[in-house]
Chains A and B, each alone.
Chain A
Amino acid sequence: MNSVLKLKKSQLKFNPKLILFVVLVLIIFNIPLVSRQTRNFFYSFSTPIQKSFWGVGRSTSSFFQALVNFKKLKSENDELKLKVKELLLRNTAIIELKRENEILRSALGIGLEKEFGLIMVEVTGKIIGQDAVFINKGLKDGVSENLSVITQEKVLVGRVKEVYDNFSKVILISDKQEIFNIEISRDEEGFTDNIAGVANGVGNFELSLKLIPKEKEVKENDIVITSALGEVFPKGLLVGSIQQVQGVDIEPFWQIKVRPAFNIQDLEKVFLILKR
């Protein structure tokens, strides 16, 4: 009667052999091939459930947010209407500039940069303990590591970190492991020189900026975009806006907090950039 598990009525007796059994099982699960297949199996099995819960979470969260923010809704709505009008006017000017740019390029014989190839994917859940999410496409769909991930509005979300057969893990830009080059831009007359710096994820969906010298003028609500340096992400993707600027006397650089432009609670369908 040397069974691994002994049962006595409603109680469970612990057998030391169980420790050995569990350790052996864990060692087997940590063999790379077995680990990948196990994770892939569980992700495949869990995706429909995760998708449902993710959708329920979004709608429930929106409902409660509407209740809580009811009073602010009208003023926020008025502000947004004004902003939309302003942006529509600006958009008209941009379209005209774009047209002129194309004409000039063709006249000078400069080829237009090819547009990105994109794959649309769905976010199915968040990875526990990390600023990272699961997406529902993997190796079989042409996904590879380090592909940039953006939203429909060209807001930078992160990059693909691990790829399985049918799923992938996307590490968000706010994760502690993420560090990449950025530029600070401001939509102001006379502001012509974008400020170069480095963005570093600090976890909990927050970002900070480094190496911005105090000689440079930086304000709250300045826009942060990706730069061409470092080649981690394509240039010109929206990262976020500056939330807080602090200066410590003994340090030569600003301490800047950035509000990421993406919101994890709004992530549903995102795009992978296949080529630059």
Chain B
Amino acid sequence: MVIIFVLSVLFYFLVLLQTTLLVYFPFWGILPNFAFIFVLLVSIFEKKKSSLGLFLAIITGFFLDIFSDSYFIGFYVILLAAMVIFVELILKKYTRVAFFK
């Protein structure tokens, strides 16, 4: 639970950075969504039976919904959760990569 809390706070600040500091540093005119990228990385590198990625997807998705003009609160939650589930069920199950244990 401590891990979830700490990561939630970190991702909250990441979303705030996404709306402020990172706006000044686009990559060739494009601003990537770093919250998405980091949730994806956590879900890829977490242990196989862990659900940390999914919890982070829900929490980060909620913050993204608050600080964006999404259609409804829950849009990014569903999107991120679907991405994490895809990684968990498909990528890790059917691909052979050394760091998936």
CB-defined contacts of B42 to chain A, threshold 8 Å:
none
Bound state CA distance, A239 and B74, in angstroms?
35
Task: Tell whether, in the assembled complex, residue A39 and residue B66 are in contact, meaning their CB atoms are under 8 Å apart.
Answer: yes
CB-defined contacts of A130 to chain B, threshold 8 Å:
68-69
Bound state CA distance, A49 and B18, in angstroms?
12
Q: Which of A34-51 contact B (CB under 8 A)?
A: 35, 38-39, 42, 46, 49-50
Residues A49 and B16 in contact in the complex (CB < 8 Å), given A11-B49, A38-B73: yes
Q: Give me the 7 closest cross-chain CB pairs, A-B, nearest first.
A: A53-B20, A128-B68, A61-B24, A125-B19, A26-B74, A57-B24, A14-B51
CB-defined contacts of A129 to chain B, threshold 8 Å:
33, 68-70
Q: Which of A1-37 contact B (CB under 8 A)?
A: 7, 10-14, 22, 26, 29-30, 35
Identify the closest chain A residue to B20 (Cβ). A53
Interface SS of chain B: helix
Q: Is B95 on the interface with A (CB-CB < 8 A)?
A: no
Q: Mark B14-53, 1 if CB is under 8 A from A, else 0.
A: 0111111111110001100100000000000001011110
Q: Is A180 on the interface with B (CB-CB < 8 A)?
A: no
Q: Is A60 on the interface with B (CB-CB < 8 A)?
A: yes
Task: Tell whether, in the assembled complex, residue A61 and residue B25 are in contact, meaning their CB atoms are under 8 Å apart.
Answer: yes
Q: Is B72 on the interface with A (CB-CB < 8 A)?
A: yes
* CB within 8 Å: A-B pair count: 90
Write the nearest CB–CB distance from A128 to chain B, whole angstroms. Answer: 4
Write the nearest CB–CB distance from B5 to chain A, whole angstroms. Answer: 13
Checking B24, B54, B70 against A14 with a beta-carbon cut-off of 8 angstroms, the contacting residue is B54
Listed in ascending order, the chain B residues whose CB lies under 8 Å from chain A are: 1, 3-4, 13, 15-25, 29-30, 33, 47, 49-52, 54-55, 58, 63-64, 66-70, 72-74, 77
Checking B50, B52, B64, B77 against A128 with a beta-carbon cut-off of 8 angstroms, the contacting residue is B64
Apart from A126-B23, A129-B70: 16 A-B pairs, beta carbons within 8 A? A10-B3, A12-B52, A13-B49, A14-B51, A39-B66, A42-B63, A46-B67, A53-B20, A53-B21, A57-B25, A61-B25, A125-B23, A125-B67, A127-B69, A130-B69, A169-B69
Identify the closest chain B residue to A27 (Cβ). B74
Identify the closest chain A residue to B18 (Cβ). A128
Q: Is A221 on the interface with B (CB-CB < 8 A)?
A: no
Identify the closest chain A residue to B25 (Cβ). A61
